[in-house]
Homo-oligomer: A and B are copies of this chain.
Amino acid sequence: MRRGHGVDWSASGTGMMGEGADLNGPAIRLAIGELAGEFGLTHRTIRHYEDEGLLTPERAGTARVYGHRDRARLALICRGKRLGFSLAEIKDFLNLYDTDDAQIEQMRYMRSLARGRILALEQQLRDVQQTLSELRTIDTQISEHLRRNGITETHGMEEKHS
């Protein structure tokens, strides 16, 4: 094993940060490979997200160093992807999550974005529920069909998910 955990195989940068914990808990300093492994992504993908402005890791010399914020954002990115959003959509979606110090008008805009997304997601929720319902019906029907017709070779592999 080359590294216990975290990044230190490069120049320590400006030296302005020692180590240890900040107000948000223990400081996490991850290399790209660690982050990639954790989320099941490639390095390329994570760099791509940076190119698209979704992540803004620090640098230790030339190497990228990811902290809390990046990890959290990446989790949101992954969820957004699972929900079928584009990176562009995810980008301003992410901005909704760190609206600490926005101006009034900016916040109104953010809220309108949030509400638009809420409406879309409510539709999506209905879609998912509808589809799930139909698929469960299909599953049941197939199972019944197999029970009626194919008892000859029913290998008893009935139950599935916990």
Contacts and interface: CB of A to CB of B under 8 A. Distances in A.
Interface string A53-86: 0000000000000000000000000010011110
Contact of A101 (B84, B142, B158): B158
Interface string A105-117: 0011011001101
Nearest to A142: B111
Given A103-B156, A117-B135, A82 B145 contact: no
Given A125-B128, A150-B104, A156-B103, A114 B96 contact: no
Chain A: number of interface residues, binned into ranges: 35 or more
Contacts of A123: 82
Interface centre among A101, A111, A153 (most CB of B within 10 A): A111
B127 A125 contact: no
8 contacts: A96-B138, A104-B151, A107-B146, A114-B135, A115-B160, A122-B161, A125-B129, A128-B128
Interface of A: 79, 82-85, 96-97, 99-104, 107-108, 110-111, 114-115, 117-119, 121-125, 127-132, 134-136, 138-139, 142-143, 145-146, 149-151, 153-154, 156, 158, 160-161
